[in-house]
Amino acid sequence: MLSLYEKLGISRQTYDFGAEILKGLKSRFETIDEVAEYNQLKVLQAMQKNQVSEACLLGTTGYGYNDLGRDTLEAVYADVFHTEDALVRPQITCGTHALALALMSNLRPGDELLSPVGKPYDTLEEVIGIRPSRGSLAEYGITYRQVDLLPDGAFDYEEIRKAINDRTKLVTIQRSKGYQTRPTLSVGRIGELIAFVKQIKPDVICMVDNCYGEFVETIEPSDVGADMVVGSLIKNPGGGLAPIGGYIAGKKECVENAAYRLTSPGLGKEVGASLGILPDFYQGLFLAPTVTASALKGAIFAANIYEKLGFAVVPNGTESRHDIIQAVTFGTAEGVEAFCRGIQAAAPVDSHVTPEPWDMPGYDAKVIMAAGAFVSGSSIELSADGPIKPPYAVYFQGGLTWPHAKFGILKSLQSLIDGKIVEIG
């Protein structure tokens, strides 16, 4: 084993450093495996109950009327999330599209959208119109209100109560911290927030941006009152196999609204050929619980390694986890770049490529990204990115298998050691 690690560029000292850290993580990894076991059975049960058959793996073309595989997959998703219905389509191009679709189809001119958990994910700013943009909700006369979390991360119940009014139609709750420093919300906390909102206004639609959160716990936000949960298939629920796609699971009316917007009024869920994509959607969902577990183990391993070396990590090494993202603050551009070079060098695809910081559209500083993925841009695969600006933090996530996540983190550490940015032992 060691000689193979050495051939792949990991020194004995680096390997031993990792092995020492791992000794302390046994019981946490056991808990993660138990959650994966539970979720594996949940997915399997949904597949068996809906009688997924060989015929479901075939695709349709053209209009896609009576697409058995597509309709059955949507029933499976609805059962996994314990919702009335679901829309799971390759025509939903990404997570942002799924969220935009859920919002635009369930809000009407004059309605108000409320985020009681602070600023939403960057790309949603243009969807909502926080940053003026063509086609935003704001252009259609849908207003937006936001209540920030309190400095300690708690919900500002008093301000939320004041913000809810006659026009409040939909409340959006982002589960993952995304690329912010606030804590990720547990499903339990999301449930408390939804209960509070519904007690003030029972008919308000509560939507949860579930990106990066699926299968991290045994329950999902739809188990604690969310009317809609929304996410991307090139993150957790696609299991690394889905090459595109998004989902919306929830109340029948909400999902129908989304379907009429995705295709056309009158057509809704009835059209939308699945082409040849369904085997990857089914198999990806089947693998998603264990793939998510691998990514979680990688995040915890990274947190403990870099915490031990004295860097600020969010979440810290011992906190309970509610998504798969790990932030590490290096404090220098060199640290961020060395980390990302290590992750890239660990990839199964494009490992020979050296990532460089570049001016990405929509960002105010250069960003460096490491991703050698089978699916372009997939962040359930081992990946990292960091803006080259203070505090010089990287965001790390994914890993289709635990051995690969482990190797990637050791490779990042080796890169920092070789660059004389950190010292061990």
Ligand X SMILES: *Cc1c(COP(=O)(O)O)cnc(C)c1O
Question: Nearest approach, Cβ of 8 to ligand X (angstroms)?
Answer: 30
Question: Nearest approach, Cβ of 209 to ligand X (angstroms)?
Answer: 5
State the residue for tokens 């001119």: 109
Question: Nearest approach, Cβ of 176 to ligand X (angstroms)?
Answer: 4
Question: CA-to-CA distance for 292 and 287, rounded, in angstroms?
Answer: 9
Report the residue number, 75 or 226, with the smaller CB distance to ligand X: 226
Span 84-143, contacts to ligand X by CB under 6 A: 94-96, 99, 121, 123
Cβ-based neighbour number of residue 48 at 10 Å: 11
Give the N- to C-terminal CA distance of the chain in Å, as an integer: 21
Question: Nearest approach, Cβ of 272 to ligand X (angstroms)?
Answer: 19
414 binds ligand X (CB under 6 A): no
Report the residue number, 52 or 124, with the smaller CB distance to ligand X: 124
Question: CA-to-CA distance for 24 and 213, rounded, in angstroms?
Answer: 25
Report the residue number, 18 or 178, with the smaller CB distance to ligand X: 178
Span 367-406, contacts to ligand X by CB under 6 A: none
Give the amino acid at 143.
Answer: T
Report the residue number, 335 or 398, with the smaller CB distance to ligand X: 398
Span 175-204, contacts to ligand X by CB under 6 A: 176, 178
Phi, psi of 37 (to 5 degrees): -65, -45
Report the residue number, 20 or 148, with the smaller CB distance to ligand X: 148
Segments in 62-213 forming alpha helices (H): 68-80, 95-106, 122-128, 157-163, 187-200
How far from the centroid of its chain's Cα atoms is residue 111's Cα? 28
How far from the centroid of its chain's Cα atoms is residue 135's Cα? 25
174 binds ligand X (CB under 6 A): yes
Question: Nearest approach, Cβ of 235 to ligand X (angstroms)?
Answer: 6
Q: Strand (E) positions, 104-218?
A: 112-115, 143-146, 168-174, 205-209
Residue nearest to ligand X (CB): 95
Please, is 252 exposed, middle or buried when counting C-beta atoms within 10 Å of its C-beta (0-12, 13-18, 19+)? exposed
**Structural tokens at position 385:** 């990115």
For the window 51-80, what string marks contact with ligand X as x by the rule CB under 6 A?
Answer: ------------------------------
For the window 203-232, what string marks contact with ligand X as x by the rule CB under 6 A?
Answer: ------x-xx-------------------x
Can you give the binding site for ligand X, defined by CB under 6 A? 94-96, 99, 121, 123, 174, 176, 178, 209, 211-212, 232
